[in-house]
Structure 1
Amino acid sequence: MRAVAVYPQSREVRIIDHPEPRLAQGSDVLARVLEVGICGTDREIARFEYGAPPPGDDHLVLGHESLTEVVEVGPEVRGLAPGDLAVPMVRRPCPVATCTPCRHGRADFCFTGEYEERGINRLHGYMTERIVDDARWFVRVPRTLRQLGVLVEPLTVAEKGIIQALETLRRFPWFAPEAVQRREHGVKAVVIGAGAVGLLGAMALRARGFEVWLWSLEPEGGPQASLVESFGARYRSTSGRPLADLALEIGRIGLIFEATGAAPVAFQAMPLLGPNGIFCLTGVPGRKGPIPIDAATIMKSLVLRNQLFLGTVNAGPDAFRAAVEDLGVFAEQWPHAIERVVSTRHALDEVPRALVEPPTGTKSVVRIG
């Protein structure tokens, strides 16, 4: 079967003939890959900045954002059947017996860093025609989300951060659980960046009752601004005003959700976070030189204003389930907005070129099945 693979030693990206997978144990699932998302991680691996093939292999099959259709299940599998749609998770537990998160099924909080990741680190990915994995790594997706299911991951990145943010907000006695349930708490959130993670994060925040402003490069009045405003958020352009001016317009900012991976932008935004606020980082900066920061002011604000900074990446089962549920909400409430997040669909043969060319649009997807 065909697959897209990188060869780190020869620095090649090409279509290969990959061995067909087979069920090897009773808990295995054989699935046909329908679609795979392309993200910044895939592009960085294709530039050979990181990424490790499985032991003994000279190549790594790419792809960690996918939607699949179940073809066959082992005799021990429950809750999945042939014909079901499912999204496979990415990270696998490390082998260290003392790593409590991994032993509790939460490799996304791994202590050791010895985990494996499909399509990234020591495990082949999903940019191929069929895969086999243990049933516990699959999350079922309703058939009604066939056109959107490929967005489950990366939406999980935002979901994980929002889950942690809400847990933190619940520590306040005035942050009533019933207000969260009714989506009426009114906490003000700023999302920085209008890429796929930023847009999906903004939608997830809106669905949970946050007042949302999205700040990004595209001009106000353009297509991206129209998309943002269509699901009830407010769009502001970096060319129109600095973020400090936006903070004056908004008032007290309870949550800043960073989705750019640009360290200078993130650190410029930190002083604008309000008292008791949460700053959620989702981007991973590239290998660039150091930037100057006012560390004393940041530290002072953290201490005196009871602020929390957290990072989110590679989510666990709870975030995957939340992403599936939220995509259903988005499809019902803002169908035209969520459908516009996927901007380009490629055939498998087009992927090697697409990985090295500058990305266009919001989200590129590979159509396989």
Structure 2
Amino acid sequence: MKALVKERAEPGLSLVDVPEPEVGPGEVKIRVLRTGICGTDLHIHRFDEWARHTLELPLIVGHEFCGHVVAVAPGVEDIAVGDLVSGEGHLVCGKCRNCMAGRRHLCRKTIGLGVHRDGAFAEYVTLPATNVWVHRMPVHPDVAAIFDPFGNAVHTALSFPLVGEDVLITGAGPIGLMAAAVATHVGARNVAITDVSDERLDLAAKLGVSLALNVSRASLADGMRQLGMKEGFDVGLEMSGSPAALREMIAAMTHGGRIAMLGLPAEEFAVDWSTVVTSMLTIKGVYGREMFETWYNMSVLIEKGLDLSPVITDRFPHHEFEAAFETAASGRTGKVILDWSAA
């Protein structure tokens, strides 16, 4: 089968022929239809310091995908050949304290699909049945392929109640855009999103946000005045990993405000902890998806009319992966999809 492989310790990927995977005990085999390019994939493509210290080569990359089930191992129930499925890319041990308590997203022994084991940028992928999410309601394959990052957005956005609240989102990348769509859909009063990319802020406007602010030209205080806000934001969703963005968010929160932080900073940086203390702010770190409550939330949001199609801006056949990665790395687009259906 064809697969995108990180073969050598250098930038780039190779589209090569590799053996088709076989179904192991408790596993499901899936014919991949679509894959989404993630920031992790860009790190691997560049082969930066994180990738050099994390990967064991050669490796089939990719973890955002959807496809049809083509085989199931004996004893696997509730998953049938022909089902359209997505996959939870965090494989957990099932035996640690958190796993045993139902907090699988907190497993300390998590293995990443496409990072620590062969991934989904291929014609076929195998996955433990416990990591397979079956789409019981109709969903377009492009949307099904991005349930993994959609889950990051939903997990972050629903960390705190949003109904009637003023919400600030810093970072209008694909996950920030999806979080904005969720916050608007579930009834936030004002949803403001900040970035320095006009292209991405234009996408945010299509999702119905109250304010899409380019902070290279206007201040957050200016944006709050445009919204008629007299106090600070109730909920902050930090999606950028930018030190300046988090500092501005902390300064713009109302007393008792709550921040969910998904963005990963590249290095340590100073935080105004005095304001965190005196304003009695709550800061919650968010990683991945709650298994599988977040997945249930995602499916219901789609079923109830949440439209993610504006977030998906570019589609490429799988063999044009270099152009796809270049587009995804530009910082000016939404989600980039690779189509494997004709492989």
- Which residue number corresponds to residue 192 of structure 2? 213
Change (3 A) 1:53 1:16: farther
Task: Give, in whole Å, the separation in 2 of the partners of 1:58 and 1:200.
Answer: 33
Q: Mark the runs of 5 or more structure 1 residues left unpaired by the alignment.
A: 167-179
Cα distance, 1:123 vs structure 2? 1.0
Task: Give, in whole Å, the separation in 2 of the partners of 1:41 and 1:243.
Answer: 29
Matched, 1:259 2:231: no
Matched, 1:203 2:181: yes
SS of 2:248's equivalent in the other structure is helix
Cα distance, 1:319 vs structure 2? 1.2
Change (3 A) 1:163 1:219: closer
Q: How does 1:1-369 map to 2 (within 5 A)?
A: 1-25=1-25, 27-49=26-48, 50-51=50-51, 58-94=57-93, 99-104=96-101, 106-110=103-107, 112=108, 114-120=109-115, 122-142=116-136, 144-146=138-140, 147-166=142-161, 185-211=163-189, 212-219=191-198, 223-229=202-208, 233-248=210-225, 249-250=228-229, 251-286=231-266, 291=269, 293=270, 295=271, 298-316=272-290, 317-329=292-304, 332=305, 335=307, 338-356=308-326, 358-359=329-330, 360-369=332-341
1:303-355 CA distances to partner (integer Å, 9 max, x unpaired)? 232211112121131112212222233xx35x4xx222111111211214533
Change (3 A) 1:93 1:51: farther
2:66/2:145 contact within 8 Å kept: yes
Task: Give, in whole Å, the separation in 2 of the partners of 1:206 and 1:108.
Answer: 26
How high is the TM-score relative to the length of structure 1?
0.81
Q: Percent identity?
A: 21
Change (3 A) 1:340 1:306: same
Task: Give, in whole Å, the separation in 2 of the partners of 1:107 and 1:23.
Answer: 23
SS of 1:256's equivalent in the other structure is strand
Cα distance, 1:247 vs structure 2? 3.6
2:194/2:201 contact within 8 Å kept: no
Cα distance, 1:12 vs structure 2? 4.4
Change (3 A) 1:22 1:52: farther
Change (3 A) 1:217 1:101: same
Cα distance, 1:200 vs structure 2? 0.6
1:70/1:85 contact within 8 Å kept: yes
Instruction: List structure 1 segments (4+ residues) > 3 angstroms apart after TM superposition.
Output: 51-55, 102-107, 218-223
1:54/1:124 contact within 8 Å kept: no
Cα distance, 1:302 vs structure 2? 2.2
Task: Give, in whole Å, the separation in 2 of the partners of 1:5 and 1:324.
Answer: 31
1:148/1:327 contact within 8 Å kept: no
1:87-128 CA distances to partner (integer Å, 9 max, x unpaired)? 110111248x6x312344534213x4x4210012x2111111
Task: Give, in whole Å, the separation in 1 of the partners of 2:247 and 2:201.
Answer: 27
Task: Give, in whole Å, the separation in 2 of the partners of 1:344 and 1:219.
Answer: 17
Amino acid at match of 2:150: L
Amino acid at match of 2:251: P
Task: Give, in whole Å, the separation in 2 of the partners of 1:66 and 1:88.
Answer: 7
Amino acid at match of 1:124: D
SS of 1:274's equivalent in the other structure is strand
Number of matched residues? 332
- Which residue number corresponds to residue 174 of structure 1? none
Amino acid at match of 2:325: L
Cα distance, 1:210 vs structure 2? 1.2
Change (3 A) 1:103 1:349: same
SS of 2:264's equivalent in the other structure is coil
1:91/1:117 contact within 8 Å kept: yes
How high is the TM-score relative to the length of structure 2?
0.87
Cα distance, 1:6 vs structure 2? 1.3
**Superposed CA RMSD:** 2.7
Task: Give, in whole Å, the separation in 1 of the partners of 2:199 and 2:122.
Answer: 39
Task: Give, in whole Å, the separation in 1 of the partners of 2:200 and 2:7.
Answer: 43
Task: Give, in whole Å, the separation in 1 of the partners of 2:129 and 2:199.
Answer: 45
Change (3 A) 1:222 1:311: closer
